[in-house]
Amino acid sequence: MDAVKIGILGLGTVGSGTVNLLIRNSSEISRRLGKNIEIVSIADRNFKKLNDCNAEDFELTTNAYDVVCDPRIQCVAELIGGTDIAHELVLEAISNGKHVVTANKALIAIHGNELFAKARSKGVAIAFEAAVAGGIPIIKAMREGLVGNNIEWLAGIINGTCNFILTEMCNKGRDFADVLVEAQKSGYAESDPTFDIEGIDAAHKLTIMASVAFGMPLKFNKVYTEGISKITQEDVCNAAELGYIIKHLGIARRTEKGVQLRVHPTLITHQTLIANVDGVMNSVFIKSDAAGSTLYYGAGAGSAATASAVVADISDIARTLTCHVDDRVPYLSFQQDTLVDNPIVPMSEVMTSYYLRINLRDMSVASVDIMKILVEQGIGIKMMLQKQPKHDDGALSLIILTQQVTEKYMNIAITQIEALTVIEDPVMRIRIESFS
Amino acid sequence: MDAVKIGILGLGTVGSGTVNLLIRNSSEISRRLGKNIEIVSIADRNFKKLNDCNAEDFELTTNAYDVVCDPRIQCVAELIGGTDIAHELVLEAISNGKHVVTANKALIAIHGNELFAKARSKGVAIAFEAAVAGGIPIIKAMREGLVGNNIEWLAGIINGTCNFILTEMCNKGRDFADVLVEAQKSGYAESDPTFDIEGIDAAHKLTIMASVAFGMPLKFNKVYTEGISKITQEDVCNAAELGYIIKHLGIARRTEKGVQLRVHPTLITHQTLIANVDGVMNSVFIKSDAAGSTLYYGAGAGSAATASAVVADISDIARTLTCHVDDRVPYLSFQQDTLVDNPIVPMSEVMTSYYLRINLRDMSVASVDIMKILVEQGIGIKMMLQKQPKHDDGALSLIILTQQVTEKYMNIAITQIEALTVIEDPVMRIRIESFS
């Protein structure tokens, strides 16, 4: 039986998972592919995870250039992560005419435009299913399953750490900081959790999904990014009381003014399917003109789930080794010369409705002043209620759900509200999205 | 720009949707594909739907053989349905070396083995994404996205009519017959609804999914099939009270004894994501060894959603026109010479737990007799409660949730229970599935 010959860069969580999967399911994979996937060599700095998989049977090297320059190797799986050495190695692999599979969302989101141009000129594939939403075949669904569709918008729970924390806060009434510590202990969160909880990881993934959905160059630095570290137990409870669940979403939407690219906590009604996606699981909702609403759900991270996507990409490459580059599915779903440099709508121009939590000392005076400010900015109110916060220091919370308004008017209103003397803390503002 | 030249058989709901989509999104599709999809000709008996799309701009014929024999046409989209004329036309198209796309689940489930063998010998593709779960790219997800996985089992809400009826019964307390009439009026159910409500349509789809998941020939006549027409409002309410929702599922599961293939109403706990899939929507849950639990959701029928899948299949074919047949994704996911003729487990050997509703006149006597019968068959009881049915004619309902047991023992127990003199009606038995 023929074989596609691969090299693996990085024997960490994903790398060892990939080696394990290729060994364990080799017969199932060959039955499907009609070819074997043959690991020619594996590079890692120190092979700390060697015992997690049976990698000792393969050619091992601590010099990654041995792999990317190996003339036997047709396809390199970059499973190192980061944007420094991984970037150099991928460029070198492409230069040497090798196809590349990567699980590296930062690399694609930040350097993808350059990498795709270079890969195109060398006629090789760069596949990155594993970079977004782990084991969910979401890139394939968008690029191929929805090829006939005009994709209108998409929204995803694409960071498992954030979703785990918010789920625990919601279901068990726990505080953010408390859950974060547990998530770190159980391995759901990194020791430096900034990338996850401040939304940067989600922004990488959203960048990739938006370009694939709309056929535009990758624009990571244009993503509005807000994390979950300011969400309190109080907000989660208030949302629940009003029929909402707070989820950390990445949202990309085509509008007349351009494309919205935004990552932030969001109130969604508990009846929507995506509101019921709990724990570390990921899910992406896509609204397109023909298929309508479709949703994809699964594990967004983890050794085996990510390896599943890596092996799928290797298999696609194995099937198209002899194809002309133009017959392959284009990197960003659209042929490179047809990518459109869509303008990105600044966050101040995005229209949405809001949940506001305003902590104040004197309700009677303040509520009138607050109403006045909202009215002046043309902000309609859908619901308003007064809450006694847990820490009973005499302060009260005013919870307001607004009608849709352009964010710049909301920004003005919030600045003015915060200037009122009776206001205790910064105003908490969480956007609300409807999935209907 | 190059074009792939297609012919369309049948200008009904799906055919006109496909023509509409190809016209409306032609630029989006060409931007992705790098090729145009050119409709060469369209065949239909009477062109009643001609006004639903702009098909009058194309070559039209009432003789479908004009299309399948047309030397200009590379790919035929069979959108007629049924297993008579569609079968003949597809065979003729294959004989003439044309690739085939079909939305016809009955054709694939019943004649797929023959068609695939013939297509293989002629080196052409048969694509059938549109045959299962409409706009959800579920065949692609299984065949390509999960190519590295050992698929353990899958369960799907794959008939929108059944799901609509059960959702209305559950959410609005309506009766089966009442909702069915509405579903027929609003076009969600056919005037002869047998295929949908008795589970035959779901069995067609399950047949296809199971073969794709496990790499075995299609075995439609081995599917255990039970519809929803016996489900009463009482059962739906009892289930809800116990924390369950009744869904009509198609289930395929690999076990040591063979493959289970079964379509029947099922109690699932309301916390599972699939229990929250409402109305006419479809959803498929897949459990595989690497990706873990993944779920796919979307519109399972309708003109545009099904057309989305047809266009995706045409696009895949357009990309692999020059490929050797061995480099294409195999029809049933696995290379034809590696399909394994797995034994199918008879329903009597399937192990599951049960919801039983036993209507009886005298609780005090009967409950002891019933317990005795269950104990003798080794059937453990998880929960038991007594209900007063709506129609208060003195009869009572005994609701029992059992532990897992092999169905043959449950069959014996039910026969014996029904022989008791105090029993009013046949025992209602609904299987319970856990998704954890």
Instruction: Quote the mean pLDDT of chain B.
Output: 95
Integer Cα distance of A61 and A55 in angstroms: 11
The CA distance from B46 to B332, in Å, is: 34
Nearest to B295 among A33, A298, A304 (CB): A298
Nearest residue to B212 (alpha-carbon basis) of B335, B119, B82 = B335
- Chain B positions touching A277 (Cβ under 8 A) are 273
DSSP A391: S
Which chain A residue lies closest to B326 (C-alpha atoms)? A34
pTM over 0.95: yes
DSSP label at residue B144: I
% residues pLDDT > 70 (chain B): 99
- Closest by alpha carbon to B398, among B373, B371, B376? B371
Enumerate the residues of chain B whose CB falls inside 8 A of the CB of residue A291: 134-136, 298-299, 304-305, 308-309
| Residue A8: its H or E element | strand A3-9
Q: Do B311 and A334 touch (CB under 8 A)?
A: no
pLDDT at A141 over 80: yes
Residue B21 CA to chain centroid, in angstroms?
Answer: 24
Mean pLDDT value across residues B325-350: 95
- At B424, the amino acid letter reads E
Cβ atoms A320, A328 nearer than 8 A: yes
CATH number of B351-432: 3.30.70.260
CB atoms A140 and B144 under 8 Å = yes
CB contact under 8 A, B333 and A298: no
Q: Name the residue facing B25 among A148, A215, A329 (closest C-beta).
A: A148
In CATH terms, the fold of domain B3-135+303-338 is Rossmann fold (3.40.50)
pLDDT score of B297 = 98
Range with the lowest mean pLDDT among A350-359, B406-415, B419-428? B419-428
Which residues are CB-neighbours of A211 under 8 A, at least 6 positions away?
A112, A217, A218, A219, A332, A333, A339
Return the H-helix or E-strand segment holding A305.
helix A303-319
Find the closest chain B residue to A339 by CA distance.
Answer: B31
List, in order, residues 6 or more apart from B22 with CB less than 8 Å away: A148, B29, B37, B39, B311
Domain covering A348-432, topology: Alpha-Beta Plaits (3.30.70)
> Is B95 in contact with B124 (CB distance < 8 Å)?
no
pLDDT digits (tens, 9 = 90+) for A29-57: 999 999 999 999 999 999 988 888 888 88
Collapsing DSSP to helix, strand or coil, B382 comes out as strand
Q: For residue range B213-229, what is the model confidence (pLDDT) as tens digits?
A: 999 999 999 999 999 99
- Give domain A3-135+303-337's CATH superfamily: NAD(P)-binding Rossmann-like Domain (3.40.50.720)
Q: Give which of B273, B282, B293, B324 to mutate to test A binding, by max A Cβ within 10 Å.
A: B273
Domain chopping of chain A, boundaries = 3-135+303-337, 138-299, 348-432
Q: Which residue has the tokens 């479908």?
A: B64
The answer for A 211-250 residues in CB contact with B (under 8 A) is 215
- Residue closest to A133 by CA, chosen among A125, A124, A142: A142
Q: Which residues of chain A lie closer than 8 angstroms to B304, CB-CB? A: 289-292
Q: Which residues are within 8 A (CB) of A84 and not within 5 positions of it... i.e. 6 or more apart?
A: none
Task: Provide the pLDDT for residue A363.
Answer: 74
Band the pLDDT of B392: cuts 50, 70, 90. Answer: low
pLDDT in tens, B171-188: 999 999 999 999 898 888
pLDDT on residue B254: 97
Is the CB of residue A282 less than 8 Å from the CB of residue A137? Answer: no
What is the mean pLDDT of the segment spanning A235-263? 97
pLDDT attached to residue B390: 63
Band of residue A388 on the pLDDT scale cut at 50, 70, 90: confident
Q: Is the dihedral of CA A72, A76, A79, A85 positive or negative?
A: positive
pLDDT over 70 percentage in chain A: 99
Distances, alpha carbon B434 to alpha carbons A80, B155, B252, B369, B381, in Å: 38, 11, 14, 29, 16
Please give the average per-residue pLDDT across A341-355, as a whole number: 97
Strands A281-288 and A428-432 turn out to be: unpaired
Angle separating helix axes A176-185 and A160-172, nearest 10 degrees:
130
- Listed range (A349-363, B103-117, B389-403) with the worst mean pLDDT: B389-403
Mean per-residue pLDDT of chain A: 95
CA distances from B146 to A126, A298, A421, B341, B387 (A): 19, 12, 59, 21, 45
Q: Is 70 exceeded by the pLDDT of residue A389?
A: no
Tell me the fold of B138-299. Answer: Dihydrodipicolinate Reductase; domain 2 (3.30.360)
pLDDT at position B389, please?
64
Which of B2, B28, B281, B287 is the best mutation test for A, with the most CBs of A within 10 A? Answer: B28
Q: Check if the beta carbon of residue A285 is closer than 8 Å to that of residue A154.
A: yes
Give residue A322's pLDDT. 86
Kindly state the average pLDDT of the residues B250-269.
Answer: 97
Does B101 or A391 have the greater pLDDT score?
B101
| Residues 245-274 of chain B whose Cβ lies under 8 A from any Cβ of chain A | 273
The structure tokens 């046409």 sit at: B73
Read off the pLDDT band of A392 (50, 70, 90): low
Q: Which residues pair with A38 in a beta bridge?
A: A5
- Per-residue pLDDT, A393: 67
Rg of chain A taking only CA atoms, in angstroms: 24
Please, which residues 360-399 of chain A have a Cβ atom closer than 8 Å to chain B? none
Sheet holding A3-9, edge to edge: A59-61, A36-43, A3-9, A75-78, A99-102, A126-127
Q: What are the phi and psi torsion angles at A369 (to 5°)?
A: -60, -40
CA atoms within 13 A on the CB side of B204: 24
How close are the terminal C-alpha atoms of chain B, in Å?
Answer: 50
Helix axes A105-122, A85-95, angle to 10 degrees: 20
pLDDT digits (tens, 9 = 90+) for A301-311: 999 999 999 99
User: Least CB-CB distance to B322: which of A147, A296, A327?
Assistant: A327
Are the beta carbons of A25 and B338 separated by less than 8 Å?
A: no
Catalytic choice (A205, A219, A247, A287): A205
Residues B106, B109, B113, CA angle at the centre, nearest 5°?
Answer: 130
Active site residue A205: yes
| Interface residue B132 vs chain A (CB under 8 A) | no
- In tens, the pLDDT along A175-205 reads 999 999 998 988 888 888 999 999 999 999 9
**Chain B, window 298-317: residues with a beta carbon less than 8 angstroms from a chain A beta carbon:** 298-299, 302, 304-305, 307-312, 315-316
Of the candidates B293, B315, B326, the beta carbon closest to that of A148 is on B315
List pLDDT tens digits, range A315-347. 999 999 988 888 999 999 999 999 999 999 999
Cβ pair A292:B277 closer than 8 A: no
How far is Cα B414 from Cα B428, in angstroms, rounded to an integer?
Answer: 9
Residue of B nearest to A140 (CA): B145
**Closest residue in chain A to residue B278, using alpha carbons only:** A273
HEC string for B282-319 = EEEEEEECCCEEEEEEEECCCHHHHHHHHHHHHHHHHH
Catalytic residue from among B140, B205, B219, B287 = B205
What backbone phi and psi angles, to 5 degrees, belong to A38? Answer: -105, 120
pLDDT digits (tens, 9 = 90+) for B160-173: 999 999 999 999 99
